[in-house]
Structure 1
């Protein structure tokens, strides 16, 4: 006897077949058939307080696991609420899958006042995701979902939106075996040409981006041969930043730009070298090798003399000579001097936290000064650390839900949120989610009274500061009202002690440090 199920079962069965253990989202009128099958599937559903929070949580989940993060929304406002989070995943090449209902078959673009009707929902999502796919029958779902997961490992990993018509979700479906994504062998790359370039070089430099994480062991082996490694923010921690040839994640600094031009061979791995990485352009280096799974990256922002399209791990599997490193100390000194000029109050915050927290702590930052002036430059990462930061899209509100996603993914690992008050207020409602889940999350909010960076830019341009000095609620009291813990830090020096204690609490702890925004 065939079990009577609906199209919602085809979605859930396919997620299970592809190893999904958690999904983030909010139920709504049009996606309820998915929720019918979640309880028996073994997939844990995390309900957030806003779909944008679900998207950021899925993004943080994906970054720490290396797999896909999945979010489920309803149609119309549900999925459009998640668009900023999906655009963030797109900018930073993070594999997230957003599943939403869509108009019934034959109803797209009819403008008949259907509940949650959008002029072109699929088009809106296709504009911010790698692609938006609409199925027309439940029988398509197993193969389509398997292909999406296969694409996350064989192509540049970017978010995908799957739209399932409401009548497909709610219609009957004859259950059949789900399909798991197959493994795709990477194409062979010209390793000999890369090795030959290293053999001829005297001052090589590796620039490691977020796409280089799969080749971390190979990059560390080259570092052991004396090859200096400079990372983007998304590549931070690929090499231990206390390594004698590590140049940190300070690629935006003028001194790092000079290093790139002084090297006689620059090997850029898994990075687009965009404005969000460099905070401006860089001059063409002497010789450039670009290694990336995306062929469109070979000449983007820095022209490649040799472009390698393929798997970075395979491309860097060679041994090379031992390089002279006497010049590296001068490179490090110049970069450190640049970073210290931006240190402000940020360095002391990082030093306090880094000294007190475990070496494998995940730091969920935000587009906040405490992250891009602070954590990036003044928290020396081991290879076990991880920074979650919305580099490319530079969104506000990422840090708190991303921390939740990371903690759900790896509950035994220490996770901390660290961001400014302006960023916190975009998604502060997700503190309710963290409290409901009883997550032992330290959430450190550095309160400088509003949008201090934008205030500084207004002053620099001769504009009277406006809309940047914000009314400040009592954030620790707000946290306590929610049911979390809330404390005020008297100084940066005690942050580490407070955050360390919060790692073993029975719920999240919001720790506020108030600083003078005019001096930040």
Structure 2
């Protein structure tokens, strides 16, 4: 500890900077102003959303693209509860979020005296789903608590971490801590497990690799492994784009019959960094994914290995480290066992399973990818995204992610796109959102304008909650509550100073995308499922 004294709020900003934080998201209030005392003098940029849920989703998009924890500063009570949906989405999708909130003064906690923004037990509420929730009762504990938080965020399976600071603690002075970046501790497989897996790989004649979001940062090594094994690679939603365009890549959901057949016929199924949860492996809630007697799972989370499908070999390891270790133990590329042919056949069969409407929607996604090469598409829960989650090859790692997985929140795409753009300012971001979903976070158009980001808001307008309406009809239920009216989205965008247009024909999309990209990258384009000609031809 050094001799200089700083308030807890000032020291907090110093600690964030020392841990590589360059952006924070939040809406300041009386209950957090002391946390802002040192912010203006720092190198950290503050982004103000229009709602705290937007702060959480922005931090999520930032974290997914940057690989660093997304950080929020939120007031106690409603500011924090507004962000719970975003934190729950991050928990389900293994996204590192650090949420620092206020809480009422220490002397008032647990007494229920009707203080402003009071909750009966804010800490207990947050502890129910976060990796860590801590109340900073002693100001001197700040350095140690922050060190623990960052180590948790960087080690093991990521997720949300919450630290609450009582308002009477924020202004207390502590000696300026020694500023060091907190360490990360990633699990690494023991040699016996690596050798066991290497032997299984050498014996396999029909292997298949399943990829989840936990493998996405090891794209190059995974591609080398796939080539060595001549193994088709099936990517779940958060792994799309890892092997973009590779002949072994099968960018289709394991929920499809063709993928299940491919896996069932394999003599080795190697699952890397995937939860094997319902939104990837049982999207239709049919419990039809085959039981496998040759499944090997590699995951960074021991609990996930314990609760997932039974595996003949479970390996606790960071995927990148495991694959690199495995490559040193197996031979060079096998004589072809038909992996590329099996992958091509699986792609064809999976695509054939889709409806004509889905294939038309996927074609539009491919137009976006090919027109804006290197772009990142961030999606909400909307029909075109559902189709893409079933079958779509993103153009790059981290090039396709959305909220139609795990927690399945609406209103995600607009703020998450802002966060993604702040993580990669030179990259074009496309926010793919429905008319229903965008209205959950419509005001974040203003946040995008304020932040100067490169986001094209592509609004997929189908006059309401069409997916739910269709499901109700299929279940013999007269649709109710599925036709919320929508504003004139281009006019709303223009009111925020954002250029906008409504497409007359779907063939105009490439030109509209290029125009938006070339004019600064911030725009809104509306496609209407019925009124835009050529949509579902």
Which of the five TM-score ranges fits, normalised by the shorter chain? over 0.9
Structure 2 runs not aligned, ≥5 long:
none
Change (3 A) 1:348 1:239: closer
Task: Deviation per CA, 1:95-117: give whole Å up to 9, x if none.
Answer: 01000011222322210011100
Residues in 2 aligned to 1:36 and 1:48: alpha-carbon distance in whole angstroms:
19
When residues 311 and 437 of structure 1 are mapped into structure 2, their CA distance, relative to the original with a 3 A threshold, is closer
What RMSD, in angstroms, separates the aligned Cα atoms of the two structures? Answer: 1.9
Could you tell me which residue of structure 1 aligns to residue 255 of structure 2?
A: 252
Q: Which of 205, 209, 227 is matched with 1:206 structurally?
A: 209
Pick from 265, 270, 277: which aligns with 1:267?
270
Q: How does 1:320-331 map to 2 (within 5 A)?
A: 320=331, 321-322=333-334, 323-325=336-338, 326-331=341-346
From 473, 497, 501, the equivalent of 1:487 is 501
Distance 2:208 2:169 in 1: 53
1:506–1:328 distance in 2 versus 1, CA, 3 Å:
closer
In structure 1, C-alpha distance between the alignment counterparts of 2:359 and 2:242, rounded to whole Å? 26
> What CA deviation, in whole Å up to 9, does each residue of 1:155-196 have, x standing for no partner?
111110111111111223332323420243643432111111
Alpha-carbon separation, structure 2, partners of 1:382 and 1:364: 13
Quick one: structure 1 residues 67 and 200, their matched pair in 2 at CA, closer, same or farther if it must change by over 3 Å? Answer: same
Deviation of 1:420 after TM superposition, in Å, equals 1.0
Instruction: Give CA-to-partner distance per residue, 1:369-426, whole Å, 9 cap, x none.
Output: 1112136524x32335611212111111110101100111111111111121111111
Q: 2:395 aligns with which of 382, 396, 404?
A: 382
**What's the counterpart of residue 241 of structure 2?**
237
Contact 2:100 2:163 in 1 (8 A): yes
Number of aligned pairs?
516
Structure 1 unpaired stretches of 5+: none
Query: Are 2:309 and 1:294 aligned?
Result: no
Runs of 4+ in 1 over 4 A off after TM superposition: 1-4
Residue of structure 2 in register with 1:227 after alignment: 231
User: Which region of structure 1 is more displaced relative to structure 2, 4-13 or 73-82?
Assistant: 4-13
Partner of 2:54: 53
Aligned partners of 1:434 and 1:507 also within 8 Å: no
Matches of 2:137 and 2:528, distance apart in 1: 54
- Name whichever of 1-10 and 307-316 sits farther off: 1-10
Worse-matched range after superposition: 162-171 or 426-435 = 162-171
| Residues 180-219 of structure 1 aligned to structure 2 (within 5 Å) | 180-184=181-185, 186-189=187-190, 190-219=193-222
Deviation at 1:23, TM superposition (A): 0.3
Give me the whole-angstrom Cα distance separating, in 1, the residues matched to 2:337 and 2:357. Answer: 31
Cα distance 1:276–1:141, how it changes in 2: closer, same or farther (>3 A)? same
Distance across 1 between alignment mates of 2:72 and 2:241 = 27
CA contact under 8 A between 1:87 and 1:128: conserved in structure 2?
A: yes
Residues 422-501 of structure 1 aligned to structure 2 (within 5 Å):
422-501=436-515
What are the within-5 Å matches in structure 2 for residues 283-362 of structure 1?
Answer: 283-317=290-324, 318=327, 319-320=330-331, 321-322=333-334, 323-325=336-338, 326-339=341-354, 341=356, 343=358, 345-358=360-373, 360-362=374-376
> What SS class does the counterpart of residue 234 from structure 1 fall into?
helix
1:125, 1:132 within 8 Å by CA — same for their partners in 2? yes
1:64: which partner in 2? 65
Whole-angstrom distance in 1 between the partners of 2:351 and 2:360? 16
Tell me the CA shift for residue 348 of structure 1.
3.4
Task: Report Cα offsets for 1:218-264 as digits up to 9, x if no partner.
Answer: 21012223111001101111212x21111114222121122221111
Who is 2:280 aligned against? Answer: 277
Q: Secondary structure at the match of 2:391?
A: helix
Corresponding residue SS for 2:446: helix
2:518 aligned to 492, 501, 504, which one?
A: 504
Offset, 1:335: 1.4
Cα distance in 1 for partners of 2:92, 2:60 equals 11
The alignment partner of 2:38 has SS state of: helix
User: TM-score under structure 1 normalisation?
Assistant: 0.95
Which is further off, 487-496 or 451-460? 487-496
C-alpha contact 1:448 1:515 (8 A) present in aligned 2: yes
Greater shift after overlay, 108-117 or 119-128? 119-128
* 8 A contact 1:421–1:447 mirrored in 2: yes
Distance in 1, Cα, partners of 2:300 & 2:517? 38
Structure-2 change in CA distance of 1:221 and 1:2 (3 Å): closer
Provide TM-score, normalisation by structure 2: 0.92
State the alpha-carbon separation in 1 of the partners of residues 343 and 368 from structure 2.
28
1:206 aligned counterpart, secondary structure? strand
CA distance in 2, matches of 1:76, 1:505: 41
> Is 2:237–2:401's contact at 8 Å kept on the other side of the alignment?
no
Contact 1:348 1:492 in 2 (8 A): no
Q: 1:307 to 1:341 in 2, by over 3 A?
A: farther
